Chains A and B, each alone.
Chain A
Amino acid sequence: MDFFLLKRSFITALLFFFSSSIYSSINDYIYPKSDYPSYSNYGTTGLIQLPTARMMPAGSLALSWSDIDPYLRGSIIAYPFSWLEASYQYTDINNALYSDVTSFSGNQTYKDKSFDFKIKLINEGVYLPDISVGGRDLAGTGIFSSEYLVGTKRFSNLDFTLGIGWGMLSKDKLSNPFEVLSDRFKSREYETDTLGGDFNVDSFFSGPASLFGGIEYFVPNSRGMRIKLEYDATDYDLEGFPDGNKSFKFAFKPVKRPDSRVNVGIVYPVSNNLHFKLSYVKGNTLSFGFSFQAALGGKHAFTKKNDPPKQIENANIIKKVNEKKDEFVYLTSLKYLAEEKLYLQHADISNDELHVVYTQSNHQSHARSSGRALRVLDQIAPDSIKSLRASNINAGMGMYSISMPRSEYQKNEKNNLHVLAKESVELASFEYKQKDYSFNPEVGFPATFWRVTPSLKSQIGGPDGFYFGGLGIAFQSETLFRRNISWLNSVTHGIYDNFDDLKLESDSIIPHVRTDIVKYLKQSTGLAITRSQLNYFSKISDQTYIKFSGGIFEPMFSGFGGEILYRPFNGNYGIGAEIWRAYQRQYNQLFGIRDYRINTGHINFYYKEPRSEVIIALKGGRFLAGDSGVNFDFSRRFKSGLRIGAFFSLTDISKTEFGEGSFDKGFYFYVPIELFSTKYSKRNTGFGLRPITRDGAQYLIHGLNLWGVTEQAQSVNISRDFDDFYD
C-alpha cells in the first residue's frame, strides 16, 4: 500500500477513535440510550457472563432476567450508594429437581437463592479505570460463589474490561496472588452449610484464580445497540450441578460443557431503562434476557413534575376585600389552601402576623407544603400583614412551625432563591393548643377517609411451587373521632388465588408466630380483616410523643399496648419504647384468637446521618416467639423519597432453633408513587423480601408507628428539602 495512503488511513482512524471528544454533544445522538451500563446473565452490571466495574447511579433500582440453559435467573438490584451494588436473585436450575418426593414438590426444578455485591474502589479518571471488587452467591448454597477484582475503562465507544476471578471464575487455575499473604488463600473449600444463610468469609478470594476480560462496543447510529465480546473465565466443571446426579442427588442431567471460551452478545436498549440482550455463550448455547433499570433517587426522577402551585385569580381584589375583616382572611385562607390540598385547622392574626395551622397529605416534601401554604397566604393577605406563619399538625400533635417576614418571602420567590429564603425562615417545633386561635373551622367528626384498592399476596420460591399468589380487593379506611383518635381498618376479599396447592407445613420448633403463613393464606381467601386498630396519640412534652393502640394490628396478631418516643426537634435521633400484649389470630383472619399470647416489647433507637440520609434503627427486646435480641435496620433515603434498606436480627435462639437461614435478614425499598406521575403524591409502594421467613426475631407490626407519624417533627427532615420551598 502506498505509504501516504496508509498514513492518511491511520490519521482517519485516529480521528474516528477520538471523535467522541471532538463532537461530544453529538455523541448523545450517535450513541443514544447509553446512559446506563448493561447487565450480565448473572444479574449484575457486566458483560455476558462476566462482571464489569460499572455501577448505576446511587438511588437506582433494577430488575434483570436471563435465560441461559440450564439456568433461568431473576435478580433485583439496588444501588444504595454510588459505590455499592447489591443484588438478590433466584436461579431456576433446570438440571435438578427440588426434591425426590413427587407428592411434595412435584416436578419443580431446583431453586437457588443468592446474594451478590460489588463495591467500587476507584472511579474512572483520565488514566485510571473504574475499579471494583465483588462477589457472587455470598450467602447462599455457594454453587455459583465467586469473587473478583475488575477494572473497566472507556475509550471512545469501546468499554474495555479486565479482571481476575476466584471460585467459579477460576477456569485457568492460576496460582492465587494472595497466597503471599496467607496460606488460607491456597485452596478453596466448596462445602455448604445445610442451614445456609451464613457468609463463608474464609473462602473469599481463596483457591486458584483466572484472568478474564472483554469489550463492550457501542455501535454508532444503531439506536444505542451494543455488541459484547468476552473471554470467559467461568469454570463450568464447578458451577451449579455440572455432572448431574454425581454432583447432587436430585440433579438428573449434566450441564453442557463449553466448546469455546469466547462469548459474544448484543444489547438492544429500547430506552435508557429497558435493555434486551441476546448472546451466544460457551460456543454452543444461546441466551436471552432483559433488564429494567432506573435512577430513582433524584429530584423529579423518572417523571418530570407538572404540578405547579396555583395562581389565585383576582388575588388583588381578594386582598382588598380582606382588608375589611379578619374573618374574610380566614375564610379565603380555608378555601385557597384547600385548593392546594392543604387543610386549614385554625388561623389567627396578631401583631401583623397571619398564622395558619394545617394538615396535608399531598407532599412528601414538608418544605414544599409549607412554601405553598405561605404562597397562598401571601396572595390573599392584606398588605397590613407583615409576617406569615404556617404550622403543621399530624394526629392532633404539633409538628413544626415555619415563619418568615412577608417581604423576604416575596423578594426570593420570583427567582426561586430558596437558599436566601431559608436564611430568613424561623423553623421551630410547634406546640399545638386548640384554644389559641381566632378561627377554628368546625370539623365534622367522626370523619372517614377510605379507598378501595387491589391487593396482591405472593409467595415465592417455596418447595411446593415457585409462585403462589392471590389477587383480591381491599377496602382501607381511617376514621377520625378526634384529631388524635383514629381507627384504621383494612378488609380484603380474595378474587382468585392458587393457594390450594400450598403444602409446606411449618417445621419450626419454636412458637409458630410467622411460619404458619400457609395456613393463614389458605384460610383467609374470602373475607379477611387485616387491620382494625384504634389509636390515641398525644404529645406529652415538647419533644415526647405517645401512642396507645388496641385491636387487630396485622393478619397474624391482635392485642393492645403503647409506644413512647422522644424525638428532639433539632436532633437527628429518637429514642423510644413500646410494649404490647399480643394475641395470635385465627387463620381465617376474622375476630377469633388462638391460644398463643405473649407480652412483647422493645427499646427503639433511631439515628439519621443528615448528609447521607442513612437511617440506623435498632429495636432491642423480646420478640413474638419469646426470643430476646436486637433487630438492626439500615436504610438510605433519597431526595425523591425513595428508600433502600436492609435488616438483620440476632436473638438468643440457636441456629438450629431458628432453622434454615440461621438468622433473620432481608431487604426492602419504598418507591414513591409520584415518581411515575406528573403530580405530587405522598403515597408509596413497597417491596420487601426475606430469603427465609422463620419465627425468630419477629416483632408485632402496628399501623402508624410514632417514628413515621412524627417524621416532620424534626428540623432535618424539613430543611433537607428546602430546595422545594418555592416549587
Chain B
Amino acid sequence: MIFMTKRSIFLGLVLPLVASCSLNYNTASQVIPAVSASIFGVDDIDVTDEMIMNRRLSFVKINFGKSSVGLMSLLSISSNNVYEWISEDDVRIYTFNGKIIKTLNLNSGGVSIQNGTAFLEKEVDGIYDINLHQPEAFVTQDYSISKELDESGNILIKEFVKTNGFKWEYTNTYLYSDELVPIQSEQEIHPNIPKVKLTFYFKNN
C-alpha cells in the first residue's frame, strides 16, 4: 500500500462533500467497539473445568467492575505468603490472604499497602498505611473486620475501611474455604479503579 499523512484523504473525503452551508465527516467506526465496551461493559470470562484442567499454574480471574476482565497466572509465592499474579500484558497484583496489597502496571491507578500482610493475621481493627499511585498520595485507613459463616460453611470476612484525609469508605468482602483458602473477594483498591473482583483457582503444583 502507499501510505501518506491523511491530509489529502481528509480533504478528498470531506471537502468535496461540504455542503452549501457546512459539512462534517466522520469515519471513526473503529471507535464504536471501544465506546460500546465502555457503556455496556465487556463479556465476562466463563471459566470452565476444561480451562482449569488445561492451565498449568494456579490462576485468578480478575474483574474490574464491568469494564474489563482477565486471567492472571500465579508467578511466585514469597516467604511471607504474598502471592504474585501476572497478566499477559504484565499487570501484576500481589495478594495476601486474598487481599490485594500491591499492584503494578495498572493503567488508571495503583496501590501499595505497606502493612498489608497484617490482614487477618493480627487484631480485627487496625490502621493501614497506603501509598496510592496515579496520583501519588500517602494516606492511612482505619479498618475493622467481621467474620461469619455462609450457608455453604465457607467463611465470609467483611472488612470495613475508612480513609483518613478524604472521603473514601467502603466494605470489602472475602470468601474463604473452611481451611482459609481464598475462594473469591470483592475489594476496592483505588478511588479511580472500579471495584475489583477476584476469583481464585488454585492448582496443586
Contact = CB atoms under 8 A, between A and B. Distances in A.
A453 B23 contact: no
B135 A29 contact: yes
A526 interface: no
B20 A517 contact: yes
A556 B89 CA distance: 48
Contacts of B192: 32
A456 B13 CA distance: 10
Interface in B139-156: 139
Contacts of B165: 23, 26, 29-30
B25 interface: yes
B7 interface: yes
A708 B15 CA distance: 17
A704 interface: yes
B10 interface: yes
A692 B20 CA distance: 6
Given A457-B25, A530-B13, A676-B34, A462 B135 contact: no
Contacts of A681: 30
B34 A221 contact: no
Interface in A59-99: none
Interface in B76-113: 89, 107
B124 interface: no
Given A454-B29, A701-B15, A689 B7 contact: no
A520 B13 CA distance: 14
B158 to A, nearest CB: 24
Given A25-B136, A394-B2, A702-B8, A461 B17 contact: no
B28 interface: yes
Interface string B24-39: 1111111100100000
A486 B4 CA distance: 13
B2 A486 contact: yes
Given A459-B23, A518-B20, A692-B21, A25 B137 contact: yes
B68 to A, nearest CB: 11
A703 B107 contact: no
B2 A705 contact: no
B1 A517 contact: no
Contacts of A459: 19-23
A685 B20 contact: no
B6 A460 contact: no
A460 B135 contact: no
B20 A460 contact: no
A394 B5 CA distance: 12
B6 A670 contact: yes
A677 B34 CA distance: 8
B22 A693 contact: yes
A23 B20 CA distance: 56
A458 B132 contact: no
Interface of B is mostly: loop
B22 A359 contact: no
A462 B19 contact: yes
Interface core residue of A514, A677, A691, A708 (most chain B CB under 10 Å): A708
Contacts of B3: 359-361, 394, 682, 709
B166 A688 contact: no
B138 interface: yes
A460 B166 contact: no
Nearest to A637: B5
A673 interface: yes
B89 A306 contact: yes
Interface string A22-44: 01011011101000000000000
B18 interface: yes
A689 B24 contact: yes
A361 B22 CA distance: 32
A518 B25 contact: no
Given A394-B2, A478-B2, A514-B18, A668 B10 contact: yes
Contact of B107 (A304, A462, A708): A304
B135 A28 contact: yes
A264 interface: no
Contact of A554 (B12, B29, B166): B12
Interface string B167-196: 110000000000000000000000110000
Interface residues of A, number: 79
Contacts of B14: 668, 686-688
Nearest to A674: B30
A676 B30 contact: yes
Interface string B58-74: 00000000000000000
A701 B8 contact: yes
A688 B10 contact: yes
Interface core residue of B12, B18, B137 (most chain A CB under 10 Å): B12
Interface core residue of B2, B34, B192 (most chain A CB under 10 Å): B2
Contact of A395 (B2, B5, B12, B138): B2
A460 B23 contact: yes
B88 to A, nearest CB: 9
A683 interface: yes
Contacts of A683: 6, 30
Given A453-B27, A686-B13, A693-B21, A29 B7 contact: no
A359 B10 contact: no
A114 to B, nearest CB: 13
A361 B1 contact: yes
Contacts of B139: 26, 29
B191 to A, nearest CB: 6
B17 A457 contact: yes
Nearest to A25: B137
Interface string A401-414: 00000000000000
A456 B14 CA distance: 10
A368 B18 CA distance: 36
A294 B23 CA distance: 23
B7 A25 contact: no
Contact of B10 (A28, A486, A684, A691): A684
Contacts of A688: 10-11, 14-15, 18, 24-25
Interface in A680-727: 681-693, 701-705, 707-709, 711
B53 interface: no
A685 B27 contact: yes
Given A25-B137, A531-B12, A704-B8, A460 B22 contact: yes
Contacts of A456: 25-27
B137 A517 contact: no
Contact of B16 (A689, A701, A711): A701
3 closest Cβ pairs, A-B complex: A708-B4, A221-B167, A686-B10
Given A478-B2, A535-B2, A556-B16, 7 more contacts: A221-B166, A359-B1, A458-B23, A514-B16, A686-B14, A693-B18, A693-B19
Interface of B: 1-31, 34, 89, 107, 132, 135-139, 165-168, 191-192
30 contacts: A32-B192, A394-B3, A453-B27, A459-B19, A461-B22, A462-B19, A463-B21, A478-B2, A504-B21, A530-B13, A531-B12, A554-B12, A556-B16, A668-B14, A670-B6, A670-B7, A670-B10, A687-B24, A688-B11, A688-B14, A688-B24, A690-B22, A690-B23, A692-B21, A701-B8, A701-B15, A701-B16, A702-B12, A708-B5, A708-B8
